[in-house]
Amino acid sequence: MQKIEISVLKSGGEAHTQREILSQPALWQQIYDLIQNESEEIALFLKPILQKDNLSILLTGAGTSGFIGEAAQSVLKQIWRRPVQAVPTTEIVTQPKSVFVRSVPTLLISFARSGNSPESVETVKLADVHCDEVYHLVITCNREGALATMDTAAANRIYRIVLPEETNDKSLAMTSSFTCMLLSVLLVARIDSLEGEFDKIQHMIDQGNIILEQKFLLETLVMKGFERVVFLGAGEYLGIAKECHLKLLELTDGKLVCMSDSFLGFRHGPRAFVNEHTLMVYLFSRNPHMMRYERDLAEDIARDTRAIQSLQIGGEAELTLPNSSKIALRIDPKNQYQMIATTLVGQLLGYFSAMHLGIDPDSPSMSGSISRVVQGVNIYRE
């Protein structure tokens, strides 16, 4: 199949997906500035809440927005020294009593690109009904969306962070909205020491630009015509692996078969998914202890007689695998923001895979079975 350059795609006069992927490193700087500008108000809202005994912190969203919570929960738990749990809105609306505990003070952190998904709106309402004391932190990309404008039963217990309009992706798949909302909540967790985070943010921006500069390496991999792609990550990178998996699924309209898992979990059955037409994508950890387990699996798969192809993101410089490509990144074990840049790998692989299959990345769903804002969800109340 003839190679298609990234600059060729046009959709309605503008390639939204392309622009939204490439714009992210510059947007990350804007997000840092925005959170810093609102730092006093955010701290005034959060500090009294975080001092409450027995506080429950829930991170929620649907689909890609739900993966923000999965990627952030372990980092927030370490910073706040509180139990933090990621629960998708799609689970909360069906079984709110299994999530909310009436007598326990609750901080519900909601992530939403449009803020109009039925489950996202209903989750906020359910929290007000099922909790005696609930606080809402909403992070959204749409100032006109329901989450940004709706009244709650506790109007004085809500703080909304509305990100720049440029983060409100016009394409079907969430790209810049995901990374910018994830960055926002990680910065909120460090609201008292944002100036000390500046160098880490710059390092993340540099890593994002390095990955974007390797886009033709990623395109070349896609042109090999893999039938299956596996993303592996551990810790916070497991949430990133799930998001990368979803990007390929969405952008190829389900034509490219994908999966995601942890490195150790993959050994327990899911490895049967791999065949000779599979690309393994290793999202290596910043944690040296975890990296030992990750390296063992990568080397084990490299010994497979079927010559399984792989792509290494980060990891140890001395790790050399046969049949493998690598994007080398200078890893800082103390920089939790690095996972954000890694997300660009899944986005670019999804974009190029769509192009390779002749699919418009801006509107990949030929059947209309998926849409930018989910449709057809009926909300039922007990």
pLDDT score, position 155: 65
The mean per-residue pLDDT over the stretch 206-214 comes to: 97
pLDDT score, position 249: 95
Residue with tokens 């791999």: 274
pLDDT in tens, 50-95: 999 999 999 999 999 999 999 999 999 999 999 999 999 999 999 9
How large a percentage of the chain has pLDDT more than 70?
Answer: 92
pLDDT at 365 over 80: no
pLDDT score, position 154: 63
pLDDT score, position 371: 56
Q: For every residue of the chain, which 3-state class applies, written as one string?
A: CCCCCHHHCCCCCCCHHHHHHHCHHHHHHHHHHHHHHCHHHHHHHHHHHHCCCCCEEEEECCCHHHHHHHHHHHHHHHHHCCCEEECCHHHHCCCHHHCCCCCCCEEEEEEECCCCCHHHHHHHHHHHHHCCCEEEEEEECCCCCHHHHCCCCCHHHEEEEECCHHHCCCCCCCCHHHHHHHHHHHHHHCCCCHHHHHHHHHHHHHHHHHHHHCHHHHHHHHCCCCCEEEEECCCHHHHHHHHHHHHHHHHCCCCCEEEEECHHHHCCCHHHHCCCCEEEEEECCCCHHHHHHHHHHHHHHHCCCCCCEEEEECCCCCCCCCCEEEECCCCCCCCCCHHHHHHHHHHHHHHHHHHHCCCCCCCCCCCCCCCCCCCCCCCCCC
Look at residue 187 and give its three-state secondary structure.
helix
pLDDT score, position 10: 41
pLDDT in tens, 128-172: 999 999 999 999 999 999 999 987 666 679 999 999 999 999 998
pTM, full prediction: 0.93
